Structure 1
Amino acid sequence: MNNTLKVSDIFAIGFMTFAFFLGAGNIIFPPQAGLSAGDNLLPAMFGFLSTAVGLPLIGIIAVAVAGGGWKGLTRDLPPQLATLMAVLIFIIIGPAFAAPRTGLVAYEMAVKPFMADGGQTSLTIFSVVFFGLALFFAWSRGRLIDSIGKLLTPALFAVLAILAVAVFLNPQSEIQAAQGDYVNMAFTKGFLEGYNTMDTFAALMFGMLIVDVIRNKGIKDDKATCKYLMMAGVIAAAGLAFVYISLFYLGATSAAVAEGAANGGAILAGYVLALFGPVGQYILSAIVMLACLTTAIGLISACSDYFSSLTRLSYETWAVILAVICGVVANVGLNQLISLSVPVLFALYPVAVALVILTFVRRWLPNPRLAYRVVLLVSLVFSLIDAAKVIGLDMSFLSFLPMFDYGMAWTTPTLLALAVTRFIRADIREPKAQTV
């Protein structure tokens, strides 16, 4: 039995993992955050890196520690609840928000600038082509390493490296004063901005897909699979950190070229134009198209893999269904999609974080079943408070909660629930099925 991968395969799997993560949000959010953070760049950037790099890496490791699958992560929860959680997360990172966003960002930043009049019809045509191409690559899971890890990702990383070097050698502006929440709570604001990448969700789901890829390479031993999954996570995290640091610095030094920019995509476009002139748009288009396409492939693959395990429909059938849905949802529009996704992220992200923490401390819990139920329920209840604030509901009567003003009201109650369950040994048993 083969339990060893070639070095080239290890890096290919790592590059594939990096490409899966590096999608639309990873490109459009850091420049905007860097511009707003200004002279508070470092704390804001470290906050962003905590949730956009640290948590996904920890999530990948959690999948490895739990045995490489969702069942391992949620073995102390009722099966129906665990399945519901997985379905909700897959819907969020798949057809509802993250996957359609890749198509929208690719259209807005890589294609629309070359069009005289980019209307709804052109968006519809592009959506069909983009998600059709993603479906083509996702069709065969066995070729994911070759098509993404050894082909698309090296090209993407090369273009990103050219941009990063140019940004550090030739910044376009002096760093300005911090703005808004970045003045007094730069780290926390950056931490919350990292939610928008959705990568902690993605880590839990991509981890399972990467395990399948590793096993398709002939690795059957659980310890070897765990080791290579962790290696892939480290390689991906290093690549993401490199990209985020360069994009944050790009945003912080973009004041002279970002006047009137409505979002991070516009800031990036203006900066690249200033650095490279007209050819800059081609460089930007290559970055965005490759980043968004590889992530779309990964999301469609991961979702199809999971949904096919729940139903009688095959992986290929689900891939077609999801690609079609993504193309339809992508026509909603980028701003509308982002506005819809933010409250959902505030509601469910803390639950994903709590699940990852529980995975690592499970061995020290006297009653894991009780702890998982209590801690996840508490994190959900208090994260709904933050989500309610995002959609404009008046939750000021709860302002006494620690970190309420920072959008992290869930943190202290969740940690308290974890601490309390550390000392409770009451037995929780699953109800036995009744016989007729």
Structure 2
Amino acid sequence: MDKKLSFSSYLLVGSMLFGLFFGAGNLIFPVHMGQLAGASTPLATIGFLATAIGLPFLGVIAIGISGSSGLFDLAGRVHPVYGYVMTILLYLTIGPFFALPRTATVSYEIGVVPFLPKEMHQLGLAVFTLVFFAVALAFSMRPNKLLMWVGKVLNPLFLAVLAILIVLSVVSPMGSVSQIAVAEPYVASPFFKGFLEGYNTMDALASLAFGIIVVNSLKELGVKSPRGIALDTIRSGAVSVILMGLIYAFLAYMGATSAGKFAVSENGGIALAQIANYYLGTAGSVLLAIIVTVACLKTAIGLITACSQTFCELFPNRLSYRTYTILFTLVSLLIANIGLTQIISLSIPVLMFLYPLAISLILLGILSPLFHNRRCVYLIPTIFTLFAGVGDFLAALPKQLTEQPTVKAILGVYRESLPFFSLGMGWVIPLAVGLVVGFIVYFATKQKNMGQRA
């Protein structure tokens, strides 16, 4: 029987969930979305919350209900090779290819760019990222309690400054949301565009990678059953969900109203720096810059450590932990120097491919008690979703690639055959059909096996 948790235990797990999913880098996406969505910001925000908050919490619940020991175990139920491929791709995405370089470039855009002349931006980025990743590498080599202390002091300070910005933007808005022009991508379907924008947080991917930390914490507190883990994740996460939802909603509102004062920025980092300077002046901008930089540094250290440990476990006889930390840090440093806007742009096709597969795994993990982890039910929806994910990946490539005759012809087939494909949601029907077919096969083979035993 599961132990009934105390209020302090729920608070502990809730704060862990908040820390796991809300980082300084997450600030920039709702702000930029608000600038583009304008009068359609409310609908776009609802879509954003579905993927930025809803999916990550479902991811943790999926790890708990499925009884898996983490991403590699859960993905390996589709096929052992798929387990390796999915784990490697996911960790490289939330690690050295995209999320890790982004920690440095977000810090740079918010903390340094406002104080540098334009001609110094590229050199400044090179110097800043070199120092940033040198510090991150040093801490990753020798993790110590200073990092824990920084987190405990930083989170309240970070939220306090953010709260001041939010209150000021509500009391003295820079414009009226209803009067702000709606950018073309948000005109036809703001909800679905917001849903896809939530992919950029990468939190659903992180939930599959790090959800086991929350699950193990609940087990240590005395909650053992899959049902108990799911319920206590929801209970302890309720406050975090509401808090994160409010923060994201107000950030989107802030971004939308800022379009009444500033031109739409290249990325949310630039927009947030402009907003901070408008409301708080130079002193406030410096304070925000320091907090965001230290918060991103803390995230970078955690990601370098987690990725290095994971690759050591996947390939125990290859490279050492120390070698992986150096390798991942160097790759992140190089990619960071292409700039935040380019990193976000390059990550979109990869996220369009990975997110449907992650959603499929999350749903399968949650439903796993119904089919007792039979491989056929894991495999069939994954194959169907993989087909759709390839199309979403191709559609999100730069225009010069999508205009190539072969790619154009392939995309034509997808547009004609898959409902919602033009919305970036082509995976919905294949995943649903795959689940139905998987369950039909499961029940058919179950009846056959029962008949043979009789």
Taking structure 2 as the reference length, the TM-score comes to 0.83
The number of equivalent residue pairs is: 424
Q: Distance in 2 between matches of 1:204 and 1:233?
A: 16
Q: Secondary structure at the match of 2:440?
A: coil
Q: Distance in 1 between matches of 2:163 and 2:18?
A: 14
CA deviation vs aligned residue, 1:65-103 (integer Å, no higher than 9, x gap): 233522442352222221221011001110111111111
Residue 405 (str. 1) matches residue 410 (str. 2): no
* Structure 2 partner of 1:372: 378
Q: Is the 8 A contact 1:219 1:225 kept in 2?
A: no
Q: Secondary structure at the match of 1:336?
A: helix
Q: Secondary structure at the match of 1:172?
A: coil
| Mean CA deviation greater in 107-116 or 380-389 | 107-116
Q: Is the 8 A contact 1:110 1:285 kept in 2?
A: yes
* Structure 1 partner of 2:342: 336
For residue 201 of structure 1, report the CA deviation from its aligned partner: 0.7
Q: Is the 8 A contact 2:382 2:434 kept in 1?
A: no
Residue 150 (str. 1) matches residue 156 (str. 2): no
* Structure 2 partner of 1:270: 274
The correspondence of residues 351-362 of structure 1 with structure 2, limited to 5 A, is: 351-362=357-368
Q: Is the 8 A contact 1:19 1:294 kept in 2?
A: no
For residue 415 of structure 1, report the CA deviation from its aligned partner: 0.6
Q: Secondary structure at the match of 1:363?
A: helix
Q: Distance in 1 between matches of 2:320 and 2:107?
A: 29
| Letter of the 1:404 counterpart | F
For residue 287 of structure 1, report the CA deviation from its aligned partner: 4.6
Q: Secondary structure at the match of 2:258?
A: coil
| Letter of the 1:126 counterpart | F
Distance 1:303 1:225, change over 3 A: farther
Q: Distance in 1 between matches of 2:24 and 2:313?
A: 28
For residue 33 of structure 1, report the CA deviation from its aligned partner: 1.2
For residue 302 of structure 1, report the CA deviation from its aligned partner: 2.2
| Mean CA deviation greater in 28-37 or 316-325 | 316-325
Q: Is the 8 A contact 1:371 1:422 kept in 2?
A: yes
Taking structure 1 as the reference length, the TM-score comes to 0.86
For residue 421 of structure 1, report the CA deviation from its aligned partner: 1.5
Q: Is the 8 A contact 2:110 2:272 kept in 1?
A: no
Q: Distance in 2 between matches of 1:133 and 1:240?
A: 29
* Structure 1 partner of 2:405: none
Q: Secondary structure at the match of 2:182?
A: coil
Q: Distance in 1 between matches of 2:238 and 2:100?
A: 24
For residue 109 of structure 1, report the CA deviation from its aligned partner: 1.6
For residue 118 of structure 1, report the CA deviation from its aligned partner: 3.1
Q: Is the 8 A contact 2:76 2:84 kept in 1?
A: no
Q: CA RMSD in A?
A: 3.0
Distance 1:119 1:164, change over 3 A: closer
Distance 1:213 1:328, change over 3 A: farther
Larger helix proportion, structure 1 or 2? Answer: 2
Q: Is the 8 A contact 1:364 1:422 kept in 2?
A: no
Distance 1:35 1:115, change over 3 A: closer
* Structure 2 partner of 1:421: 438
Q: Distance in 1 between matches of 2:25 and 2:310?
A: 23
Q: Is the 8 A contact 1:31 1:252 kept in 2?
A: yes
Distance 1:159 1:207, change over 3 A: same
Q: Secondary structure at the match of 2:352?
A: helix
| Mean CA deviation greater in 415-424 or 43-52 | 415-424
Q: Is the 8 A contact 2:72 2:87 kept in 1?
A: no
Q: Secondary structure at the match of 1:156?
A: helix
The correspondence of residues 137-216 of structure 1 with structure 2, limited to 5 A, is: 137-139=139-141, 143=145, 146-147=148-149, 149-175=151-177, 176-210=180-214
| Letter of the 1:397 counterpart | V
| Mean CA deviation greater in 150-159 or 96-105 | 150-159
| Letter of the 2:338 counterpart | V
Q: Secondary structure at the match of 1:332?
A: coil
* Structure 2 partner of 1:386: 392
Distance 1:222 1:327, change over 3 A: farther
Q: Distance in 2 between matches of 1:133 and 1:235?
A: 33
Q: Distance in 1 between matches of 2:17 and 2:284?
A: 27
What stretches of structure 1 of length at least 5 have no aligned partner? 429-436
For residue 362 of structure 1, report the CA deviation from its aligned partner: 1.6
Distance 1:327 1:284, change over 3 A: same
For residue 418 of structure 1, report the CA deviation from its aligned partner: 0.6
| Letter of the 1:285 counterpart | A
Residue 295 (str. 1) matches residue 276 (str. 2): no
Distance 1:74 1:121, change over 3 A: same
For residue 4 of structure 1, report the CA deviation from its aligned partner: 9.3
* Structure 1 partner of 2:79: 78
Q: Secondary structure at the match of 1:253?
A: helix
| Mean CA deviation greater in 292-301 or 343-352 | 292-301
For residue 270 of structure 1, report the CA deviation from its aligned partner: 2.2
Identical aligned residues as a percent: 38
Distance 1:109 1:49, change over 3 A: same
Distance 1:220 1:317, change over 3 A: farther
Q: Is the 8 A contact 2:60 2:215 kept in 1?
A: no
* Structure 2 partner of 1:27: 27
Q: Distance in 2 between matches of 1:270 and 1:180?
A: 23
* Structure 2 partner of 1:106: 107
What stretches of structure 2 of length at least 5 have no aligned partner? 403-407, 447-454
